[in-house]
Structure 1
Amino acid sequence: MAVTNRLSVIDPAKSPIFYGYIILLVGTLGIYCSIPGQTIGVSVFTDPVKDALGLSRNQFSNAYMIGTICSSLVIGRAGKWFDLYGARYVAFFAALTLSVALVLCSFSVQMSQFVKEVADIDTWLIPFLLMTVLFFVLRFSGQGVLTMASRNVIMIWFDKNRGKVNAISSVAISFGFSSSPLWVNALIENFSWQMAWQFLAVGLLIFSLIVLQFYKNKPEEHGLHPDGIITKDENEEKQVVAAKQFTLKEAQATRAFWMYALMLAFNSFFITGLTFHVVSVFASEGFPKEDAISIFLPASVVAVTISTIFNFLSDYLHLKLYLYLMILGGLMASVGFLLLSTTFGVPLLIGGFGILGGFFAVLNAIVWPRFFGRNHLGAITGKVMSFLILGSALAPSIFSLCFSTFRSYRLMGWLGIVYLAFLAIASLRANNPQ
């Protein structure tokens, strides 16, 4: 058995169908399994865990922010691991690490109490520091490494059909993520928050074994080609121009890298900030809690529709059009933020929210292999992931600071408009470096 297939009984070359479709299935499952390390998965645990640890909401949020910022500073290293060792081992250890972190989270109260007794100190700093470390591990392994490795391995197995398979993956992930708070909350209510984290840990342990069996780094390692293309005629071979394989340093020297990365980071910042404080945002404009929560379903429908249509079309259209449509969505959401109390505010916010999410699902997967090649995809996407994680880390605290200072969130809308106007102008020359 080849070294690339060690510890696995699955041979992609003997698969009755193109193995890339198996990669599509397990890679999508891998992104879904990152939910315990995503904001949407952690937020459900906020109230019971902070109360059990004796932390205030601000203390708990700050622990989350610091842990997330720290993970953004080292995620680039994981991207280099991806290029060096491949998706299989990186995703395996990420899933295993996330599983262990969830078990430790479930015993956080006991661990905190033990340290207090040993140190003979009763202070909030002990559970605060403990959760900061645990959040670092959760965010690094879940939102960072497992998500990056799973998304990248799908993109590596496809080329011409990259947009089509990403459409399938994006739809499954959108519905999976949007429904996850319901079943995670059901686990907490029916068992306890400790057992809920333990159940998720067991699930991730099982998934880590699935990774070891089914994840395969590249089709070429198994005598296959992206998209399942086996042979080409001579004329077609001559027409194919080899894509330049950019290193991270070369990619960072292009305007396209920065404009697309900064736009995706804005999405991460804005969506996380709004999601984290959505009830407070709407309450500040006179809306009840039910109205705040109700925006997510229609926004998800818009996002899924956008990502499905434009993922399919991405195999034929220039991605700069997508960048500007995403900027338009961000402007709609920012204006909706400012006009929330008016008739058009909520529809604009929902529409912009959905457009941002839809194009994020397309660009974050498609743009990097198309623009910069596959050889250094891990390092490039690892750097981009650090921007996304940093944006999601800063958002809750900055939104909160805005409200505590001005008794309104409207300043975030103005900042969004200014930022997006800058990106729109700066992106005029953000062309595909290929």
Structure 2
Amino acid sequence: MVGLLRGLGAHRHLLGFGGLMVFMSGPGQTFLLSLYGGVLRETFNLSHSAFGGLYSLATLMSGLLVMGLGRGVDRIALARFTALVIAGAACGAVLLATASAAWMLLPAFLLLRLCGQGLMTHVAQTTVARHVHQGRGTAMSLISMGSPLAEAIMPVTVVALMAAMDWRASWLVLAAGLVIVALPLALWLLRAQQRVGSGSTARPSVASAPAEPDLDDHLDSWTRTEVLQDRRFYRILPALLASPILITALFFHQAPIAQAKGWSLELVSSAFTVFAACHVAALLLSGPLIDRIGARRLLGVYLLPLLLASGVVGFWPGAIAAPVYLGLAGLCVGTFSTLMGALWPELYGTRHLGGIRALVHGATVLGTAAGPVLIGLLLDAGLGITGLSLVMATYLVVAIVLVRPVAVANPPAPSASR
């Protein structure tokens, strides 16, 4: 492990860039935007459903746009694309700060979700996965640590800002942070990585050119069209989407679940510390594990903690079930974060990695938007928590069975799918 980390030292600036981009996606993430829900509803006289509708619509639009715009990381110089993404997120923050009517929330949310939650993480994972080969899984684990770090720092910072100033001013501060701090730092890290690698002709420039395949990439790189023609891709999707869809839905409906289980909200909130700890632990452990056994192998088993969590929710009584369930969910989320970055280059190469990841990211966003609605419909139809856990467990078992052949067999060459 120590030797692997030492080997990643040559990519330290690139890893710093990836971690920074993941961290600075925070203003576009639900954990931060939700802190403004009350004041935004009050300011613009919105009902819960109207506010949620605007946010869901922006999220859906973001997911669709990422499928197309995400290919830019394959075609545009990385430094330029990074600057455009950060500037877009800053524009969203300024637009939200200056919004004078409720309809203006939609484009503001769209820019924040698209450029923050969507493209920043997409750029980070695609870039690191493309340029780091030896120890790719560990590299993905390290940059993904930006997410729990943002979850720990940004909400506290935002609450302090809103206590010290108007909520609009707090968004101007966030916009300034993106432009004055994040943008120059990201570009400096890219230039620094380019200087580190300038002595070698084996790798293309990281910052100044569109993506080219690294010379040590042993795979034939698949195009996005070829991936869509690969039947194995459709075996992978249900398993890969299971974690974000089900966990988002469970968290969104945590109040009725807690009520049915007899858990107090204080118990649930304290149990989230277990979720965070297991999330971080899974991030740290899954990367080296992927480097040892491969992302495909882990794909076949990473849903097992979530399968156990669904059983805990449905059948384990008492207060202890809450931290156990959330801890198991945290293990799945942390592994998913690393897996999303390492799987696609392992299966399909790196030349068209941005376009392939953008496609999957868009599907993930659409799934996370649909998940809470579907679970809500089941709850409204009178399905109890035990029945809900059985539905989730059934989906997970089917997903595991479908993906098993992919986990144990080598993928075909692109030409075999034509």
CA deviations over 1:85-117 (Å, ceiling 9, x no partner)? 143222211110110111111122xx21xxxxx
Q: Tell me, yes or no, if structure 1 residue 350 matches structure 2 residue 326.
A: yes
Match of 2:177 among 203, 211, 227: 203
Residues 191 and 384 (structure 1 numbering): CA distance in 2 closer, same or farther, change over 3 Å?
Answer: same
Match of 1:395 among 371, 379, 382: 371
**Residue in structure 1 matched with residue 81 of structure 2 by the alignment:** 90
Please give the residue correspondences for 1:32-111 in structure 2 after superposition, counting only pairs within 5 Å: 32-108=23-99, 111=100
Q: CA RMSD in A?
A: 2.9
SS at match of 1:433: coil
**Residue in structure 2 matched with residue 248 of structure 1 by the alignment:** 224
Taking the aligned partners of 2:329 and 2:63, their CA distance within structure 1 comes to: 24
Deviates more, 1:96-105 or 1:247-256: 247-256
Kept in 2, the 8 Å contact 1:330–1:416? The answer is no
Kept in 1, the 8 Å contact 2:136–2:291? The answer is yes
Taking the aligned partners of 2:18 and 2:256, their CA distance within structure 1 comes to: 36
How many Å apart are 1:404 and its aligned residue?
Answer: 3.8
Taking the aligned partners of 2:29 and 2:18, their CA distance within structure 1 comes to: 17
**Residue in structure 1 matched with residue 13 of structure 2 by the alignment:** 22
Q: Tell me, yes or no, if structure 1 residue 130 matches structure 2 residue 108.
A: no
Deviates more, 1:188-197 or 1:295-304: 188-197
Q: Tell me, yes or no, if structure 1 residue 333 matches structure 2 residue 313.
A: no
Taking the aligned partners of 1:402 and 1:224, their CA distance within structure 2 comes to: 57
Match of 1:162 among 108, 131, 136: 136
Taking the aligned partners of 1:63 and 1:217, their CA distance within structure 2 comes to: 41
Please give the residue correspondences for 1:187-198 in structure 2 after superposition, counting only pairs within 5 Å: 187-198=161-172
Taking the aligned partners of 1:399 and 1:107, their CA distance within structure 2 comes to: 35
Residue type of the partner of 1:395?
Answer: G
Structure 1 gaps of 5+ residues are 1-16, 113-126, 229-239
CA deviations over 1:154-213 (Å, ceiling 9, x no partner)? 222210121222232233432332443232222223323212211111111122233334
Kept in 1, the 8 Å contact 2:60–2:366? The answer is yes
Q: Tell me, yes or no, if structure 1 residue 373 matches structure 2 residue 349.
A: yes
Kept in 2, the 8 Å contact 1:333–1:350? The answer is yes
**Residue in structure 2 matched with residue 258 of structure 1 by the alignment:** 234
**Residue in structure 1 matched with residue 212 of structure 2 by the alignment:** none
Percent pairwise identity: 22
Taking the aligned partners of 2:379 and 2:144, their CA distance within structure 1 comes to: 33
Residue type of the partner of 1:41?
Answer: L
Residues 432 and 171 (structure 1 numbering): CA distance in 2 closer, same or farther, change over 3 Å?
Answer: farther
Taking the aligned partners of 2:129 and 2:367, their CA distance within structure 1 comes to: 24
Kept in 2, the 8 Å contact 1:254–1:433? The answer is no
Kept in 2, the 8 Å contact 1:337–1:413? The answer is yes
SS at match of 1:243: coil
Kept in 1, the 8 Å contact 2:313–2:325? The answer is yes
Kept in 2, the 8 Å contact 1:301–1:354? The answer is yes
Kept in 2, the 8 Å contact 1:333–1:349? The answer is yes
**Residue in structure 2 matched with residue 175 of structure 1 by the alignment:** 149
Q: Tell me, yes or no, if structure 1 residue 292 matches structure 2 residue 268.
A: yes
Kept in 2, the 8 Å contact 1:259–1:427? The answer is yes
Residue type of the partner of 2:107?
Answer: V
Residue type of the partner of 2:234?
Answer: W
Taking the aligned partners of 1:227 and 1:432, their CA distance within structure 2 comes to: 28
How many Å apart are 1:72 and its aligned residue?
Answer: 1.1
How many Å apart are 1:332 and its aligned residue?
Answer: 1.6
How many Å apart are 1:378 and its aligned residue?
Answer: 0.4
Kept in 1, the 8 Å contact 2:70–2:358? The answer is yes
**Number of residue pairs matched?**
391
